Chains A and B, each alone.
Chain A
Amino acid sequence: MSAALKLMAVLGFAFALCAGRGAAQDAKPEITDDKPKPTVEFAKTWEAAVAEAKLLNVPLVVHSHGFY
Chain B
Amino acid sequence: MHSAVMQNKKYLEFAKQNTVEVLALQRLAEGVQKKDPRAVAYKVKGANGEEQLLMLNWPNLTLEEIEDLSRSKAGSFNKTGKIPYTSVVDPWTEKEIKGYNGGSAKGIQEDVETALVALRKDHGKGVARKDLARVNEATAKAQAFATAGDFAKAIEALNKLDTQTKGAAELLTTKISDARAAVISAAEAALAAIESATDPVKAKKDLLALSDRLRGTGLETKAKELLLKL
A: which residues have CB within 8 A of B? 23-25, 27-47, 49-50, 52-68
Contact = CB atoms under 8 A, between A and B. Distances in A.
A39 B59 contact: yes
Interface of B: 1-3, 5-7, 9, 11-12, 15-16, 18-36, 38-43, 53-61, 63-65, 67-69, 72-75, 77-78, 83-92, 94, 97, 108, 112, 115-116, 119-120, 123-129, 132, 169, 171-172, 175
A43 B125 CA distance: 21
13 contacts: A32-B41, A37-B7, A42-B61, A43-B21, A43-B22, A58-B18, A58-B91, A58-B119, A60-B22, A62-B89, A63-B84, A65-B1, A67-B25
A55 B126 contact: yes
Contacts of B90: 59-60
B115 to A, nearest CB: 4
A52 B11 CA distance: 19
Contacts of B9: 38
Contact of A67 (B30, B65, B175): B30
A39 B105 CA distance: 13
Given A36-B56, A59-B91, A59-B116, A27 B6 contact: no
B194 to A, nearest CB: 35
